[in-house]
Amino acid sequence: MENVVSVLNLKKTFDKKPVLSGISFDVPRGEIFGFLGPNGSGKTTTIRILLGLLRPDSGSALVFEQPLETSDKTRARVGVLLENNGLFDKLTAYENLKYYAELYGIPDVEERIRELLAFTDLTSRKDTLVGTFSTGMKRKLGIARAILHRPEVLFLDEPTSTLDPEAQKMVRDLIVHLSGDESMTVFLSSHNLDEVQKICSRVAILHGGTIKALDSVENLRKNSGVTNVRITLSDSSQVNEARSVVSKIPTVTDFKEIEEGFSVTLSDSSASPVISGLCSAGIAIEEVVKDKRSLEDIYIDVMREEA
List, in sequence order, every beta strand (DSSP E) within the chain: 3-14, 17-28, 32-36, 58-63, 78-81, 153-157, 185-189, 202-207, 210-216, 227-233, 252-258, 261-266, 285-291
Question: Could you tell me if 197 and 76 lie in one domain?
Answer: yes
Q: Are residues 135 and 265 in the same domain?
A: no
**Residues 164, 232 within the same domain:** no
208 burial type by CB count under 10 A (0-12 exposed, 13-18 middle, 19+ buried): middle
Domain boundary among 171, 202, 221: 221
Same domain, 86 and 57: yes
The span from the first CA to the last CA of the chain, in angstroms, equals 37
Divide the 307 residues of the chain into consecutive groups of 10 and give the mean pLDDT of each group.
93 94 96 92 93 94 92 90 92 98 91 93 96 92 94 92 82 88 90 88 93 89 75 94 94 90 85 93 92 78 72
Say which DSSP state 131 is in: G
For residues 191 and 254, membership in a common domain is answered with no
- Which element (helix H / strand E) includes 133? none
How many structural domains comprise the chain?
A: 2
Is beta strand 202-207 parallel, antiparallel or unpaired with respect to 285-291?
A: unpaired
Give the model's pLDDT for residue 84: 87
Q: What stretches of 151-271 show up as alpha helix (H) in DSSP?
A: 165-180, 193-199, 217-222, 239-246
Same domain, residue pair 84 and 213: yes
| Cα–Cα distance measured from residue 71 to residue 210, given in angstroms and rounded to the nearest whole number | 28
Q: Which is nearest to 251 in space by CA: 269, 278, 238, 275?
A: 269
DSSP assignment of 263-284 equals EEEESSS--HHHHHHHHHTT--
175 and 237 inside one domain: no
Same domain, 161 and 25: yes
Q: Do residue 48 and residue 75 come from a single domain?
A: yes
Closest to 285 in 3D by CA, of 237, 231, 229:
231
CA dihedral 225, 41, 1, 71 (to 10 degrees): 180
Indicate the pTM of the whole model: 0.80
Distances (CA, A) of 198 to 106, 152, 203, 300, 303: 33, 22, 11, 18, 21
Domain range for 61: 3-221
Nearest to 97 by CA among 183, 86, 158: 86
Task: Single out the residue in 188, 221, 254 at which a domain terminates.
Answer: 221
Q: Supply the CATH number for residue 232's domain.
A: 3.30.70.980
